[in-house]
Structure 1
């Protein structure tokens, strides 16, 4: 392994920061290497505060997104919350749908089938919306490049709001609103939100219009923290604040679905590492082995007895995923050995029986 070492800070800067913070010079040097150069930056790093979250209306098109959701509610329209089948997507769908349903009933969810529809917005999903009377689709963790799909929906008088965090192409979809901090024309101060993070900014903005405070949003942060851990986004800036308070929720008063998972894994305290390696794989297993809908159902369930049943099902999906992972890895290594290609820099192995949802892990 080749290590890329960060430049060592000057002794002068390290000593200055150490004196300001009252810490050892080594600690100050480590902070400087992480871009923390002032007392204020160190305070934000060690003591994240919800008051430091940015105004959601700084995000390009946020006003348009909020206005369209409010219009849908005022006109009694049906809203379809659409998301990807991975952890970021399913937590995003659970977050927005549970928030909207808390005060408006005409909301449903849609996760595309990994094998039948593939990643992102699908024609099948749009047809589902048309057939079931949905006039507004809010797409989360996908859609930033779905130019043809959004145009197809527009022909059917279905509006789109895109909430994504992936890098856009040269052209944006002609949606009612495109929320993506990576848009070149978006001046939102923090660019590294995950999809669920963008979804959270949307409900934060909707809450502002309803007179709610950030304290009213805390109960949704267990979902955001899980998405942050699973999507491996930098835990800096807003992500650090959201993850910090999200972990507090996970360890004190998580939503019913998470309670059911935690009960199964028998962990007293969850860290961000536990989220990445214990919680996230279980949520992901639903989309890998069966369907992402199972994850959304668990994460939006409010009845503990039902949640335990859903969590047990997802636990079995995760066991199946691990078994398939081990088997495919073993079979792939046998192929490499039989071809005598162990010393090659690259090789291609294939078996039509290998589970598509596991190959990426292998």
Structure 2
């Protein structure tokens, strides 16, 4: 791994902020590195307030969207709430439909089938709306590129309101309103909302219009926080406020569906990391293995007995998903090795029998192994569908754009995208994608980067520092857990490999006679020789708490050693 130390702010700035906030200079340095330079900014960071949320009417088309929904309600129209089948889409559909159903009955939800309809707005969904007299579709986490579908809906007398956060193409659909902060003509101050977040801004606007306040919407924030975590959007600005309060709802007063999941996993307090790795995969598993509507049913449940049945069902989907993803990952790794493609700039693999629901996870696994832009293809109807994943610093969406002559359609973000192509185009696309990436990627991006916030002495680590760092949460892109580096440290001599196959490393570290502090290095078991015989070594780590037999102790969570 490449170890990169972040630039240190000037001593003058560190000293100034340290005095202004009456905090240690190390804490001042961490804040400055996150762009926090004043007392007011630090107060907003450590004490997020719902009042910091922006006025939803600053978003382009918000007035129009609110007026159209009010008109639909006044005229007793049937409203369809339509969303993608992943966590962001299903939470958004649960949020918006349950909000409308509080006061208006003529609402249904629609999640496209991953296999029969694919990503985004489908013709089948529009036909269903037409056949059942729906005259307004509110699309969440999709739709900004649905030019032909919106045109088709209009011919059938159906209006569209689109709430999306993906990058629009050069042309926008002919919808009644398109709420997307990434529109070039949208001046909304915060651009990094997820799809559920955009849906939340719309219910905030409707609430304001009807004389309500933000406090009325707190119960919906568990859904928004889950989408923020799962969609890996930056946890900065408005997202930080929404995630902060959403986590409080999850831990103190979660909706029935979340309670049913939490009861099964038996964990007391959930962090954003727990939401990402425990709750989100279960919600996602429904759309991957069966149908996204199962997730919506769980998230809108109002009866605990029913929710418990839904949660058990989803738990089984998740177990099946886990088995499949392990199996397919092994097959994909074998394909790369057998085709002697380990020295390429990209990983592109295909098997017509791979389960479409897990190819995104497999792409992530392959990226972890080979650390390069990756695509995993499978057969989808008469076409091939793929999930793309990238490495830090490389825009896979732009790379796909340069291969668009080989593609039927594509969409997504800088680091994750989806696409379809004709089977006969696969070979040409694979060659072109390799060529585009090899000519445009900085070779150092093909080596995982470990970004370090600050150099530290082990004697600087204490409970007070840990208390302050915990207040930096929720962590995520744009506000990652602080990572430190300490030089010339040693083990007390009792280091050992732990876990299955002794793949993890457990030790007690000290430096210049300091009091030893426990450390755990997941997947670092093979580095035990580096630290044997009290050899001196450098370590990169974050701070963690280890709870054992009712006692909580500080420990180092090792990221790498050398």
Normalising by structure 1, we get a TM-score of 0.97
Name the CA shift for 1:273/1:347 in 2 (closer, same or farther; >3 Å). Answer: closer
Gaps of 5+ in 1: none
Write out aligned runs for 1:98-117 (5 A): 98-117=98-117
User: Comparing 142-151 with 305-314, which one deviates more in the overlay?
Assistant: 142-151
What is the rounded CA distance, in whole Å, between the counterparts of 1:155 and 1:6 in structure 2? 55
- Which residues in structure 2 correspond to 1:167-182 (within 5 Å)? 167-182=167-182
Partner of 2:80, secondary structure, is strand
Structure 1 position 94, deviation (Å): 0.2
Structure 2 CA distance for aligned equivalents of residues 302 and 168 of structure 1: 36
Aligned to 2:444: none
The alpha-carbon deviation at position 244 of structure 1 amounts to: 0.5
Q: CA deviation at 1:350?
A: 3.5
Change (3 A) 1:48 1:116: same
Question: Is 1:95 aligned to 2:95, yes or no?
Answer: yes
Root-mean-square deviation over aligned CA pairs = 1.3
| Partner in structure 2 of residue 45 of structure 1 | 45
Question: Offset of 1:141 from its aligned partner?
Answer: 0.4
Report the equivalent of 1:361: 361
Matched, 1:230 2:230: yes
TM-superposed CA distance for 1:334, in Å, is: 3.4
User: Alignment partner of 2:54: what SS?
Assistant: coil
Say which SS state the counterpart of residue 136 (structure 1) adopts: strand
SS in structure 1 at match of 2:136: strand
**1:360 is paired with a residue of what secondary structure?**
helix
The 5 Å alignment of 1:144-223 reads: 144-223=144-223
- For residue 172 of structure 2, give the secondary structure of its aligned residue in structure 1: coil
CA separation of 1:12/1:176 partners in 2, compared to 1, >3 Å: closer, same or farther? same
In structure 2, the residue matched to 1:281 is 281
How many angstroms does 1:7 deviate by?
2.4
TM-score, structure 2 as length reference: 0.63
Larger Rg: 2
* Inter-partner Cα distance in structure 1 for 2:35 and 2:196: 25
Distance in 2 (alpha carbons) for counterparts of 1:323 and 1:22? 51
The Cα offsets for residues 30-72 of structure 1, whole Å up to 9 and x where unpaired, read as 1111111111111111100011111111111111000000000
* CA displacement at 1:344 relative to structure 2: 5.3
1:347 Cα offset (Å):
5.1
Structure 2 CA distance, aligned partners of 1:88 and 1:332? 27
* Residue ranges of structure 2 left out of the alignment (5+ in a row): 363-562
Quote the offset at 1:339 in angstroms: 4.5
- The aligned length equals 362
2:84 matched to 1:84? yes
Which has the larger displacement, 328-337 or 209-218? Answer: 328-337
Matched with 1:132 is 132
Match of 1:322 in 2: 322
CA deviation vs aligned residue, 1:161-210 (integer Å, no higher than 9, x gap):
01011111222111111111111111111111110001001001111111
Structure 2 SS opposite 1:162: strand
- 1:60 maps to what in 2? 60
Q: Which structure has more RCO (C-alpha within 8 Å, separation ≥ 6)?
A: 1
Aligned to 2:268: 268
What SS class does the counterpart of residue 113 from structure 2 fall into?
coil
How far, CA to CA, are the matches of 2:21 and 2:215 in structure 1?
30
Residue 5 of structure 1 deviates from its aligned partner by: 4.2
- 1:348 and 1:60 map into 2 onto residues whose CA distance is 39
Matched with 1:28 is 28
* Alignment partners' CA distance in 2, 1:189 and 1:290: 38
Decide which structure has greater helix share: 1
Q: Give how far 1:6 is off.
A: 3.2
